[in-house]
Amino acid sequence: MKYIAITLGPITRTIEMAESTKELWAASYFFSYLAKKIVEPFVKKNRTFQLPLINEEMQKPHCGAGLFPDRYIFKSEPGDLELLKQHSDQVLIEIAGHIASPSLPGTAKDVSQIYHYLKSYIKIYFIERTLESDDPHVVIPDCEKYLNIIENQETFPEQEETMISHQKSDFLKFLITNVNGKIYRKDKNSIPRFTGSFLTRDAFGDMNGERLFESILEISASELNINIQQKALEVITANEKNKGEKYSDQIWDAEEIILNDNKAQLRPYHKYIAIIKSDGDSMGETIKSMGAYNIPITQLSKALLSFNIESINEIVAYGGKPIFIGGDDLLCFAPVCCNGNNVFNLVEKLSTCFDQCINQHLQQYINACSEAQRPLPSLSFGISITYHKYPMFEALHTTDYLLEMVAKDNLFKYTLSNKNILNENMKRFILKNKLAFSLQKHSGQIYHTAMSKKGKSYVKFNMLLQKYILKNKDMSKTQESEKFLSSVIQMIRAHAEILQIILQNEDKRTEMLKNYFDNNFNESCHLGYTGLFEDIQTLLCLRYQENIQDYQNRNEIIQQNTILTSDEKEILIVSPAMDAIHTIFTALQFIHFINYNKDE
């Protein structure tokens, strides 16, 4: 039996071109569109795809989210390899024609020049393997081994000269910058509209000239229901002096004008954006275990596709914008707080949605083996919150670090692996199903924390946020809350070492914590906050106890290791008490950040 395996790229290099949410979406969606077009004839021929599951639902517009990943493996028939070669070229020619379309702004462009540029830049690598087995647990690892090698081949794009300007031109950068198409008006009294592009039409369907992807500020302030970009375009069109400026600069200035016109509604957190990224844990172990029990891998594929569709609905309902959702990978932009919910509520809904899809579609696998022998996938998250003018790509890098190195515990894993000491005994200490969070204020202050999503402390953390983030932004109550929370935060910061000693006292921890808060907050103005003090104490104790379970033995082994340097040990060792204090400190800072009514 023969199998064709395909990999596409360069995704990271293309995404690095992006300078706005619109461009980031376009760079990501371009590869979903490319993948859909390349595999299209083989889907129509009903070829059996081992990776991924492809069905009609993936073909529909889903609020702009690209559902087609960058890798494919299918059972091939005679002539398929040659068809793939010819069809791939034809797809690039069609895309070149779209980029040269008059619906996009700029001067005339030559289709052949754009095609040669795409041909030299885009990675469309494929191989055909002959295997005796049709078991996906054999086919997929074999093909992916070769894909991992060939995808490392770099491409060197030709910087073609345009027909009219004779300047070097990056046609893909041109596409993602102008993905909304040209701006036009039906008449002088109508609002500006967009012509759109082949990517926006494929992703959103017919939007009748509407704006097709929001700016950072529009997403972050979505609960205000201000159509910022349309109003901004009216300002730009009416203001002749802006004609010489870059289009992106004009939008930026206009957004500031519009937001300043809504000061009564605007709160500081509306100028911050959350970037959320997730990745699955234990996927490889689950696939291997399913193979051992002869469970079809298509069940896992169905679970992931179901999650993809439902997660898009959750993100959009919250007020966020999905950038990429495929398999166990997710990237989206979201408001920090929107209509009474916050970004942690969204993450919890996505986690619950993932677990439900896994449990629904892997029921045969779950019934086949005991819980102790059954690895199941989970989702880890990285969340970064930054000011709307903070460089977007740096914010993305922060989110990547939070997910990969903190939430997925790869800092621990990679450090030990590089020292050749990551044995089976140490692998059992790798933590999964985590969330890592960072809030970087405009002033430069950074608050961050990380926690397991499976413990009671995570439930208490979310409850604390939901309970004390003010829903009704009454000014008098807001000012009172700001002042009080600030005093609690400063007290915890100043007394961190005292709290550490208290938490480490196994016998009298609960009593000593109560005495600490009773003695430090014993004035009449504190009487109304007894519930908050009790919730803080509960979260501190829960987090500390879970940290002991997760880190105590791991810390001891790291400390006794003779290969790791003292600096490496300092980075890897987690203090259960200080981490618990840090968690409550970050939770209170986040509450204060949402409730705070003054800009920095």
For each of the domains in the chain, give its residue range(s) and CATH number, in order of start: 2-176 (3.30.70.2220), 183-260 (no CATH), 263-454 (3.30.70.270), 470-600 (no CATH)
d(CA 260, CA 271): 11
pLDDT in tens, the chain (600 residues): 999 999 999 998 899 889 888 899 999 999 999 999 999 999 999 999 999 989 887 877 767 788 899 999 999 999 999 999 999 999 999 999 999 988 787 766 789 999 999 999 999 999 999 999 989 989 999 999 999 999 887 766 655 444 333 334 589 999 999 998 887 777 766 677 788 899 998 988 876 767 667 788 888 988 988 766 566 666 666 665 556 555 555 555 656 766 777 777 888 999 999 999 999 999 989 999 999 999 999 999 999 999 999 999 999 999 999 999 988 999 999 999 999 999 999 999 999 999 999 999 999 999 998 887 889 999 999 999 999 989 998 999 999 999 999 999 999 999 999 999 999 889 999 999 999 999 999 999 999 999 999 999 999 999 999 999 987 665 555 666 678 889 999 999 999 999 999 999 999 999 999 999 999 988 877 777 889 999 999 999 999 999 999 999 999 999 999 999 999 999 999 999 999 999 999 999 999 999 987 765
d(CA 195, CA 209): 6
Question: For the packed helices 343-361 and 298-318, what is the interaxial angle rounded to 10 degrees?
Answer: 160
Provide long-range contacts, Cβ within 8 A and 24+ apart, for 454-461: 454/378, 455/542, 455/546, 456/542, 456/546, 457/539, 457/542, 457/543, 457/546, 457/583, 460/535, 460/538, 460/539, 460/542, 461/344, 461/539, 461/543, 461/583, 461/587
Where would I find the beta strands (DSSP E) of 193-248?
A: 193-194
Task: Tell me the two tokens of residue 349.
Answer: 């809904």
- In the 8-state DSSP scheme, what is residue 66? B
- The answer to whether 336 and 272 have CB atoms below 8 angstroms apart is yes
Find, among 348, 7, 354, the residue nearest to 155 by Cα: 7
Tokens 């204020």: give the residue: 441
Q: Please return the burial class of 107, using the count of CB atoms within 10 Å of its CB with bins 0-12, 13-18 and 19+.
A: exposed
- The answer to whether 196 and 209 have CB atoms below 8 angstroms apart is yes
Q: Report which residue type is found at 466.
A: Q
